[in-house]
């Protein structure tokens, strides 16, 4: 039980820290009243691949993947989105310094491109707890801040130390646009 409590507590701290960072990084919407009510909160899953696979020591990697979300928004027409994820940088099982681009296509047909420059990947009980913060650079919600905390499962925590490393993580994720 103690390990599970510690893991949940760490995840809660990571999510809480992400939301605090998100609120401090949020743009001032008073100059853009038409965007003031455009916040979106989504829950879904992401699958991310790393080439080469993640190992204990950081190395240059390429990142690819996809996401699918169900959303709540002040825009009643917006209810879901699917995304493609790409990027690269220095990544390892305990460290991440990468730039990632997520291209989201909403159920309305509109698109959003998010660039994530700030990110942390923490290994908790052998699983990747991911927190990335970025900015919408194109499309719907342009200029808005985005946070995407989630728990991606390596499915085989010992694989990090293996020759090929962790090539794929998947699991629940959130997408918060303010």
Instruction: Give per-residue pLDDT as tens, 17-35.
Output: 333 333 333 343 333 434 4
pLDDT (0 to 100) of residue 103 = 98
pTM of the predicted protein model: 0.74
Ranges of residues in the chain whose predicted pLDDT is under 70:
1-38, 118-128, 130, 150-157
* Helix (H) or strand (E) segment spanning residue 19: helix 2-25
Dist. CA 74–CA 37, nearest whole Å: 6
Beta bridge partners of 87: 63, 100
Task: Give the model's pLDDT for residue 144.
Answer: 94
In this structure, what token pair is assigned to residue 126?
Answer: 């052998």
The per-residue pLDDT for 26 is 38
CB 71, CB 93: distance < 8 Å: no
Give the residue from 35, 16, 78 showing the smallest Cα distance to 178.
35
Q: Which of 77, 49, 46 is nearest to 61 (CA)?
A: 49
Q: Are 153 and 170 in contact (CB under 8 A)?
A: yes
């Amino acid at each position: 039980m103690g390990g599970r409590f510690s893991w949940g507590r760490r995840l809660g701290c990571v999510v809480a820290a992400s939301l605090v960072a998100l609120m401090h990084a949020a743009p001032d919407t008073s100059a853009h009243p038409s965007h003031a009510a455009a916040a979106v909160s989504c829950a879904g899953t992401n699958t991310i691949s790393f080439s080469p696979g993640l190992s204990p020591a950081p190395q240059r990697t390429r990142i690819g993947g996809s996401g699918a979300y169900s959303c709540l928004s002040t825009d009643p027409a917006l209810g879901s989105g699917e995304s493609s994820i790409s990027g690269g940088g220095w990544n390892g099982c305990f460290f991440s310094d990468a730039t990632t681009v997520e291209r989201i296509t909403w159920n309305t047909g509109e698109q959003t491109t998010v660039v994530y420059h700030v990110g942390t990947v923490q290994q908790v009980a052998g699983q990747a707890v991911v927190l990335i913060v970025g900015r919408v650079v194109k499309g719907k919600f342009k200029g808005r801040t985005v946070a995407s905390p989630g728990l991606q499962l390596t499915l085989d925590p010992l694989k990090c130390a293996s020759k090929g490393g962790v090539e794929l993580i998947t699991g629940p994720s959130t997408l918060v646009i303010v």
